[in-house]
Amino acid sequence: MNLRLLAMVGGLVVMTGMATPVAAQQSTMSMGLFSGSNSFRPDLTQRDLKVIIRVLGLQGESLKALQDLYDGYAGTLASEGVAVREYVAEVIEKAETLQNAELVVPARTKISEWEVRSEQIKKTFLEDLKSLLSRDEEARWPIVERELRRLKYVGSGILTGENVDMVKLTEDVVGESGAQGEVAELLNRYSEELDHVLVARKRALDENKEEYSSAIKTDPDKARKCWGAVNDARLAVQALNDRYASLIAGVMPGDKKQKFERAWLERCYPMACRPSRVDEYLKDAKELQSLSAEQKTQLKAIGAAYEEKVWRHREVAARAWRQFESEHRKQRLEDSLAGKTDDGRNQQYNGAWLPESHPVNATRLTRIEIDKDFRRQIDAVLTPEQREEVPARLTPFAKFESWQPYGL
């Protein structure tokens, strides 16, 4: 799982220490104006370029012409972007020095103008490229556009599995040889079907986002309608990915099948697949220089058994989280419509408030017992002195994560 990635992940670290007196209260406000250096880089990356080359089958002089055009596109962005960056930096510095937030308005305007200009530079590059294509290559251009939409939009998902690119996932698993045979055929079908649901999702967001924001406080029925339209579009992408994950796993070569299934689970459900303290303990224990040959063999066997049990557990935990996700998103909508105040659940979106009987917490309690059992097994292999050498045995902080699916 998005895997954004993805889903957004926040970390909270709690530490204890001596309190120190402070002379005054201080707070800081930050205003984001643009996406850092990415705002001045080509929207079409080298990865996109590879897609264009692959789909069109470019080689020889055609390939060189494409690269020359792309270098010109990237160069124009870089040269014109320098002036924009310098202007914005100067405006921000002045606003900060005078402590006047209103002074950043010209910088916002300049960034908005730059976004329009950079889009025009990209459009010119694509038009110039299309003018160089042969008739056969031009006939395949709609496929290029489809593939570029996949790369650009699939990562916008917020539900588990909604932001996973099955083409990229499969390529990562099968390696440089690329997908072949039935796998390649499935990926082509997947790309075609995915394009339809991605376009539908974007349209649903474009048509409902602003209306939802205004209706959430004034018109509950309209807000529910907007939310439902977008949620249905998201579920369609999620369902498509679920279906093709199963289909692709079914025809994946034997030595790649398990790797694919586990990679899929990790990218869809990072909250269910994150390492525990025992994962870290086992890893550190295996790296001890003082281990005997027999201890290494024992820890290797423990690690294999632990991995197998944990992966089976993660499948159960993933199903539990999917259920929680569906239930809680709907409940959050109704809470917002009812004007209920935030009780911290939105800040720490991890299901910690759920009863122990809920599947999410039930799987977490099961994981605790699994880890206790394997920690005892690891301890039994190590000497007391070796146990003290393992860094992960003593952790002076507590870490909590939030998996909030931000947005409509």
DSSP string over 370-387:
HHHHHHHHHHHHS-HHHH
**Of 314, 210, 278, nearest to 1 (Cα)?**
314
- The C-alpha atoms of residue 45 and residue 58 are separated, in whole angstroms, by 17
With 0-12 / 13-18 / 19 or more C-beta atoms within 10 angstroms meaning exposed / middle / buried, residue 87 is: middle
100 phi/psi in degrees, rounded to 5 = -125, 105
* Confidence grade of residue 12 (pLDDT, cut at 50, 70, 90): very low
Q: Report the SS3 class of residue 13.
A: strand
- The C-alpha atoms of residue 115 and residue 182 are separated, in whole angstroms, by 42
Identity of residue 196: H
Segments of 28-170 assigned E as strands: none
261-310 per-position pLDDT tens digit: 999 999 999 999 999 999 999 999 999 999 999 999 999 999 999 999 99
Range 27-35, long-range pairs (CB < 8 A, 24+ positions)? 29/101, 31/101, 31/104, 33/88, 33/92, 33/104, 33/107, 33/108, 33/111, 34/88, 34/111
49-96 per-position pLDDT tens digit: 888 998 998 888 889 999 999 999 999 999 999 999 999 999 999 999
**Of 251, 255, 282, nearest to 373 (Cα)?**
282
Q: Where are the domains of the chain?
A: 32-139, 149-268, 276-339+353-401
The answer to whether the CB of 48 falls within 8 A of the CB of 153 is no
Q: 166-174 vs 254-268: helix axis angle to the nearest 10? A: 140
- The C-alpha atoms of residue 189 and residue 192 are separated, in whole angstroms, by 5
Cα torsion 129, 131, 132, 136: sign: positive
* Confidence grade of residue 17 (pLDDT, cut at 50, 70, 90): very low
Residue 51 has what pLDDT? 87
The mean of the pLDDT values for the chain is 87
229-254 per-position pLDDT tens digit: 999 999 999 999 999 999 999 999 88
| SS (HEC) of 59-99 | CHHHHHHHHHHHHHHHHHHHHHHHHHHHHHHHHHHHHHHHC
Whether the full predicted model's pTM is greater than 0.85, yes or no, is: no
- The C-alpha atoms of residue 271 and residue 51 are separated, in whole angstroms, by 31
